[in-house]
Structure 1
Amino acid sequence: MRDFSVLSDVEFEELVGDLLGAEHNTLVERFAAGADGGIDLRWTTPEGLHIAQCKHYHRSSFAQLLTSAKKEVQKVQKLEPVRYLFITTFDLSVSQKARIYDVFKSWMKAPDDVLGGRDVDALITKHSGIEHRHAKLWITTGMQIFWATHADIAHRSEALRQRIEKSMPRYVVSPGYQSARDVLATHNVCLISGPPGIGKTALAQMLLAEHITMGYEPIEVSADINEAWTSLRRDTPQIFFYDDFLGEITFAERLPKNEDRRLSDIIEKFSAPGSNKKLILATREYILRDAKLNYERLSSLDSRYHFVLELKAYNKADKAQILYNHLWHSDVGRECLREIARGGYKQIITHRSYNPRLIEYCTGKAFDTESPGYPKRFKDTLDHPETIWKVAFEKHLTLEQQLLVNTLCTFSRSAHLERLQEAHAALCDTLSVVSTESSFREALDVLEGTFISIHKDAKHTTVIRHFNPSVTEFSLKRIATDRRITTAVVRSAPFFEQLSELFSYGRGGSLIRRGNTSLMATLTRNKADFQRAMARTLDSRSLNQIEVQLGNTSTTFMIDSPDRLERRVRFCLEVDLKWGIDSTLIREAVNLLILHWRTNVGDKPAAEQTLQALREHPIEEDLLNAAHDALHAALESNLKDTDDWYYYTSHLSEYDGIPLDSLPDLASQFKVFMDRHLLQEDPTYNLDEMKSLADTFGLDGLSERIEEVLQENYEPDDEYEPSGSRVHDDDERGSDEYIADLFDRLGE
């Protein structure tokens, strides 16, 4: 049976109205609660008036359903229809149908006039076109089928699946959804931008869910776009989601070297005719605007493909429906709902600070949803959204729990459970706060769903992150204003990346967001401690460890990310420019890096970026030359794939100033490599640059062969026509009368 729990009672009535209209080949009118004596649906035939009553009781017992049914008898007596239908999502047994029929048998032909969940399900199957007017229902059904038949993908995507299923019931299908579908259908790429809390991620999740129903494998990108490149499978329809791809709070961290190239390459590739790949990106509007100023590729791509969709403020109808859906699917107390129904909704949906994130918070378990005065508390939160976390943080959390929220600030995006516990324990120890294994676990339980979210990653490792970026912003302000906490965080940090993360938040670097000046001022006052912490953690293991498989065995182990030392050296240079630090630390960091490169360990893009940073920094010439020689040797000795050739030849021409057409032996070596590479099953990665390289070497024949491969496109998919969702009259939905009737349901 289909999962009707994703629908609100209003959405269920709309579905039933469409089904009855198709079943009886007539127009079925729908009425809001209280407006017409309890009528939900009605239609007229030559026999007379027909009425249908809908009861969406997905969280209630049959006893409650029967009691509710009996309350309708007086209303039906006044209307005296020739036929009355009672329709519910409750999965009724034969005997339960009979009991409801006994209540209404004066207006029913038979017990068949009582329809349970399975009967509604059968009607949907009979009138299959109706389901596609109700996006949330058919998408949920399609996802369930996909997960059931693709256990391996379901296993890998469990965390993403849980987030989609959690957000689906509260989602309101708005015009922005159709616009995003159109952009994605036309270009295969959709970049969703907008202010914080507007619902970018929820919209992206709906698009993901829809494509999952069509057989697309979902891939969530978390670190950089190279994850998408390495996950590509030629014959498999795939949809990629890269949330906050330019950063969560500010555009402080510039994209890694060539990240804009890789991103633009993949957009070009996916946008090609016949591609069976889709890409959804999401970012805050001001961060995107800043990034476009720094990366021309992003601006030029959008001007050619027009794949950027900017979410703007919701209209009145959407605001009302979003609030209603959140309330209907929440555990808000009955008296609080009555206060909303009696007019409390008005000051919420018309508020200048209205956004779905605040609505979600004020209808969730972290908010007081039981005591009288609920609409006022709701409005006070909208008046001062910065107090959302302040009250809960100060009044409901122990110091140990507060320190856990603060510790998470020093991790980028998310933290693995064991590393977070290590950093948290170190901070607690520095501040003489008792923390045990059990109290740490208790802190996680208390914070989950409010300050933090917990999920499993693709490797089934437990991962923790702040509930949303506003928690990060709040916590950073707390750290910035409490020098004692700042000092303790710096002195206790077991991971170098904790220091760089704090510094990055303080520094900023965006044209729109200048960073957290209070935090930077506090760090500056503690720069001696900060430098000692850098020296202490310089060669510590990385927070960004990756899992590696041992040969052809099933044995795996964790290693540091390849660019660990490159990132740390660049950070040391950055701190040196800001504060001026001991040259001994710089030399120690660069010498570690040289050893790293001499053993052919490292990330080539990061290495090139780091060597350039060293060239631009006032360091000793002998140290710079040693770094260059080590990297040059590493690049020259490792030419196994197209990327290796790209980085080595770029190094020769851009850094050493050597014309490639003056190296015939290298050209011959490149031709042998490409002859082998072009025989591979899918030799498409980085071929544009390989063609350019062949041209530079003067290898015309090879250049022509690469061009032939580039002209081969993916096999085209079957034509995809997005199913239309039902379009409502916004004028009617935005009317004061309609909205009043909508919220009146909550007061019943």
Structure 2
Amino acid sequence: MEYDFSKLNAREFEALVASIIEKELDTKVEVFKSGRDGGVDGRFWIGESKEGIIQCKHYLETPYNTLISKLKSEEAVKVKRLNPSKYIFVTSKELSRANKQEIKEIFKPYIHSDSDIYGKEDLNSFLSKRENHDIVQRNFKLWITSTSVLDLIYNNAIKGRSESTIRDIEEKAYKYVITENHNKGLKILEEKNVIILSGEPGIGKTTLADNLALYYLTKGFEFCDIEENISEAESLFREKEKKKILFYCDDFLGSNLYDAINNKKDSHITKFINRVRKDNSKKFILTSRTNILNKACGLSHSFQNGKILDNEFLLKVENLTAFDKAKILYNHIYHSNLNEDFIEEIYKNKRYKEIIKHQNFNPRIIEFITDSTLVEHLHYEDYWKYIIISLNKPEVIWADYFQNQTDDCVRALTFLTVFNKGKIAENTLRNAYNTFLKIHLVNLGDHSDKSFEAVRKLATKSLLNRNQIAENKFEYTLFNPSIADFILGSYSEEIDLICNIIKSLETEVSIDYLQALFLSKKINSSNSDRILEDLFEYFFERKLNDEDWDFLITLSYCDFLNDKFKIRIEQFLNTLINAYYPKGYRLWELLMILLDFEPEIEFKNFKFLYNFIEDVDNEDTLKKLLDFVDRYDVEDENILMQIELLIENYLQNIVDNNDLDIDYKKHVNYSFYPDGYPKQEIDLNGIENEIREILDFYLEEFNVNVLEKSSFDTHKFASNMDIDAMATKFFENYEPDYEQNYNTSFFSGTSSEDDIDALFER
């Protein structure tokens, strides 16, 4: 049987060799820390006092002459100094009989016979014996790259997409580092049969899922890649009821969240997951971005009732120890094909520690900065600067692709999505794209199709994601959030471009986002004035005629203290407060502007507020409304009645969610039944009194004058609450704190600085 030793890095090869020699000699082999070894990769004892030494050279791609030269100039001197009773030399290179004779001569008299020299063919011969398969299985990467296991893996892939997925997984497995996450994932799958790997982009969800899948394929599980339709998996389940099957779904619900929930597919998915849970011959591995999974569980009663999150395993960078990160970095460097001068830039002054400790460390960035094809245009002296920029500003990952490998039309769709705060409905994007082509100079380049349908297909899955949000309705998001950081960093000085993007979008979201960019200084103040002047000129009269109040409020709020816009904003406000029952949702911004335009604005009445205050549901807006009513001594009964209702609804919501942190536990009295069983009694009056006290304290931050004017009564409000139901709900979900006996190195642990230095020692 053939094994692919090229997939192992130098440290992994040393660990393998130690296992082989230990079993071959039937004696314990001491393995030392990786690093400058003085010619010793392993040590064993012959009798009580005679020392045996093992030396490994993982020189698979090194020419034989170079190996011999190194042995003569460096290793022979070390061996003479060590003066062992026995010396075993192991290399991953193929060695002929003549080669072994030459090596034996170099290390004379320490190598006793040719059998103390192991080449690639000797390692393969040893590992192929059935009694030594335990060593292979302990070396994950070696096991999955053996010819027999590869045949097993490929034969177990369901034909079609599953077969292609498996080949992709296997080809990338050599860079994989087994961390505690891997062991934890296997444990969950063994116990529950289902695991949902969640986390932020770049954390390694798919990589872990891939290698968990490989593990089960080596155990004889067939592989079924589920892309969209759960029905194909169900059919296979029925067809092969007693066969071992691994179901695999990458980016669970990522592009079909709303479709799944709106069309009741969520219950379909829940039933299938529960079916797998109960059948130990089946496994199900899913990945999901944390925000998507949380949103799905928030929207779907089926997911909530089915306790989908019970299968979640959240991946975080904090879960990786410093040594885990070191192994990830080392492995990527080892397999990178980087020029030696580039690698030296990482090793210089132990800079690898800066990478390992960087707050933006994640496996995706490490893969990026060690990709030799992406840095081949650099001089090696600029490489470290490139690494630091990539870590500090991960968005540079997109620079080359965006600026050199796409055209103006694909870039246009990306610009429009970014400036709509990274998310945009398909119809809005289509209209904005068509407008943008008319008002902005675009290089159409060749004669290929530049229609929205053609261009969005080019942009999707490289710069944008297309997600279904309802039947026949789609929404676009950025393929990666760092795309926005790159674009804002690269194009913030392009005033005409920004103006034309906002004009094409014509959305309140884009105006809001623009203001956020002004406030965060991502667009400097001198440019913001010019941009707003252009937008006021373009939008103002048309939006005023259309009575598009929220758009005008949003645009005005960007810089309502600026004298350049004062006359127009005043005109807009006077038109609004005298309009016939105007309706809008941006009450907080409207009140802010109105308060700053006194006394230019004269109120005849306050009926213009009626429709604006219908849906107030946040504390800041509610407080601002109360302050406005107090300042202008508003006596309108309709407004005061609405305020009372708004406050009651708001407080009910925060009490229901226990945002006030009511300590229900302290209102439980424990006693025992005559037979000795414990019982608990809940003091409902005590809970109600605590709620009253906290609410009284909480409402001190609200305008007391208006609260009195609106007849709101805290005690009446508390008396009308269903305290019994609230307490019951709390204790249904309450779980006592138990002492956890977790392995601390998995959650946060620190690794020895010496271990990291030893790993990177050259």
TM-score, normalization: structure 2? 0.56
Quote the Cα distance in structure 2 between the aligned partners of 1:119 and 1:111.
11
**How many pairs are equivalent?**
502
Q: Which residue of 1 aligns with 2:344?
A: 338
Q: Tell me whether 1:375 sits opposite 2:384 in the alignment.
A: yes
The 10-residue stretch of structure 1 (174-183 or 41-50) with the greater mean CA deviation from structure 2 = 41-50
Following superposition of structure 1 onto structure 2, how do residues 181-220 of structure 1 map, counting pairs within 5 Å?
181-220=186-225
Matched, 1:325 2:331: yes
Q: 1:244 aligns with which of 237, 245, 251?
A: 251
The one-letter amino acid of 2:212's match is L
- Counterpart of 1:242 in structure 2: which amino acid? C
Distance 1:366 1:452 in 2: 18
2:445 aligns with 434
Aligned equivalent of 1:225, options 230, 233, 246: 230
SS at 2:761 equivalent: helix
The answer as to 2:371 corresponding to 1:366 is no
**Alpha-carbon distance in 2 for matches of 1:33, 1:216:** 36
Q: CA RMSD in A?
A: 5.2
Contact 1:204 1:280 in 2 (8 A): yes
Shift of 1:254: 6.7
Distance 2:222 2:510 in 1: 39
Cα distance 1:49–1:733, how it changes in 2: closer, same or farther (>3 A)? farther
Aligned partners of 2:747, 2:45: CA distance in 1, in Å?
Answer: 26
User: Structure 2 vs 1, CA of residues 260 and 451 (structure 1 numbering), >3 Å: closer, same or farther?
Assistant: closer
Distance 2:205 2:276 in 1: 21
Judging changes above 3 Å, is the alpha-carbon distance between structure 1 residues 59 and 191 closer, same or farther for their aligned structure 2 residues?
A: same
Q: Please tell me whether the aligned partners of residues 240 and 278 of structure 1 are also in contact (alpha carbons under 8 angstroms).
A: yes
One-letter amino acid of the structure 1 residue matched with residue 394 of structure 2: P
CA spacing shift, 1:262–1:93, aligned 2, 3 Å: farther
Instruction: Give, as a single letter, the amino acid of the residue that structure 1 aligns with 2:249.
Output: Y
Q: Distance in 1 between matches of 2:491 and 2:222?
A: 42
Mapped to 1, the partners of 2:500 and 2:145 lie a distance apart of 47
Paired residue secondary structure (1:366): helix
State the Cα deviation string for residues 24-43 of structure 1 (Å, max 9, x = none).
Answer: 22221223455431311111
> Which residue does 2:179 correspond to in 1?
174
Q: Does residue 301 of the first structure (1) align with residue 310 of the second (2)? A: no
The separation in 1 between residues aligned to 2:477 and 2:70, in whole angstroms, is: 42
1:733 CA displacement: 8.9
Q: Tell me which amino acid in the other structure corresponds to 1:741.
A: A
Structure 2 residue 387 is the aligned partner of structure 1 residue 387: no
SS in 1 for 2:165: helix
Larger radius of gyration: 2
Instruction: Give CA deviations for 1:661-696 in whole Å, capped at 9, x if unaligned.
Output: xxxxxxxxxxxxxxxxxxxxxxxxxxxxxxxxxxxx
Change (3 A) 1:34 1:130: closer
Stretches of structure 2 lacking an aligned partner (at least 5 in a row): 419-432, 449-457, 465-475, 513-522, 524-531, 540-583, 586-743
User: d(CA) in 2 for partners of 1:89 and 1:408?
Assistant: 54
Aligned AA for 1:244? D
In the alignment, is the contact (CA less than 8 A) between 2:45 and 2:52 conserved in 1? yes
1:51 to 50, 53, 60: 53
Q: CA deviation at 1:131?
A: 1.9
Report the counterpart of residue 77 of structure 1 in structure 2. 80
Aligned to 1:19: 20
Say which is worse superposed, 163-172 or 355-364, in terms of deviation.
Answer: 163-172
Answer yes or no: is the 8 Å Cα contact 1:400–1:435 preserved in 2: no
Amino acid at match of 1:40: D
In 2, Cα distance between the equivalents of 1:405 and 1:370?
A: 34
- Equivalent residues of 2:321, 2:746 under 8 A apart: no
Deviation, 1:743, is 1.0
Q: Which residue in 1 is equivalent to 2:92? A: 89
Match of 1:714 in 2: none
- Please say if residues 408 and 443 of structure 2, whose CA atoms lie closer than 8 Å, have aligned partners that are also in contact: no
Contact 2:7 2:142 in 1 (8 A): yes
Instruction: For residue 394 of structure 2, give the secondary structure of its aligned residue in structure 1.
Output: coil
1 CA distance for matches of 2:416 and 2:333?
Answer: 30
Q: Which residue of 2 aligns with 1:125?
A: 128
Quote how far apart the aligned CAs of 1:349 are: 0.5
The aligned residue for residue 272 of structure 1 is 278
Name the aligned partner's letter for residue 188 of structure 1: N
Q: Please list the CA deviations of residues 425-447 of structure 1 after superposition, one character each: whole Å capped at 9, or x if unmatched.
A: x999993433379xxxxxxxxx9
Instruction: Say whether the 8 Å CA contact 2:31–2:43 is kept in structure 1.
Output: yes
User: What CA distance in whole angstroms lies between the structure 2 residues aligned with 1:75 and 1:60?
Assistant: 21
For residues 85 and 485 of structure 1, what CA distance do their matches in structure 2 show? 68
Q: Structure 2 counterpart of 1:375, which letter?
A: W
TM-score (norm 1): 0.57
> Residue 660 of structure 2 corresponds to which residue in structure 1?
none
How far apart, in 1, do the equivalents of 2:304 and 2:487 lie?
32
Q: What SS does the aligned partner of 2:359 have?
A: coil
Deviation, structure 1 residue 355? 0.6
SS in structure 2 at match of 1:26: coil
Aligned amino acid, residue 387 of structure 1: V
Q: Which residues of 2 match residues 404-423 of structure 1 at below 5 A?
A: none
1:267 shift after superposition: 0.5
Contact kept in structure 1, 2:267 and 2:303, CA below 8 Å: no
Structure 1, residues 601-640: CA drift from partner, whole Å, max 9, x if none?
A: xxxxxxxxxxxxxxxxxxxxxxxxxxxxxxxxxxxxxxxx
CA contact (8 A) 1:242 1:282 kept: yes
Are residues 1:68 and 2:70 paired?
A: yes
Residue 8 of structure 1 corresponds to which residue in structure 2?
Answer: 9
- Partners of 1:237 and 1:352 lie apart in 2 by 41
Distance 1:132 1:181, change over 3 A: same
Query: Where does the alignment leave 5 or more consecutive residues of structure 1 unmatched?
Result: 411-422, 438-446, 454-464, 493-498, 509-517, 527-576, 579-726
What percent identity do the matched residue pairs reach? 29
Change (3 A) 1:124 1:94: same
Once structures 1 and 2 are overlaid, which stretch shifts more, 123-132 or 13-22? Answer: 123-132
Which amino acid is 2:61 matched to?
A: R
The answer to whether the 8 Å contact 2:200/2:290 transfers is yes
Other-structure match for 1:290: 295
- Deviation per CA, 1:329-373, whole angstroms, max 9, x where unpaired? 102221222232231111111111111111111111224675125
How far did residue 488 of structure 1 move? 11
**2:758 maps to which of 735, 741, 747:** 741
Supply the distance in 2 between the matched residues of 1:339 and 1:239 (Cα, whole angstroms). Answer: 43
CA shift digits 1:67-91 (9 cap, x unpaired): 3333311111111112211212223
Check the 8 A contact 1:339/1:375 in 2, yes or no: yes
What SS does structure 1 have at the residue aligned with 2:288? strand
Greater relative contact order: 1 or 2 (C-alpha under 8 angstroms, separation 6 or more)?
1
Tell whether the 8 Å contact from 1:132 to 1:138 is kept in structure 2 after alignment: yes
Deviations 1:393-419 (Å, cap 9, x if unpaired)? 44x547469759959999xxxxxxxxx
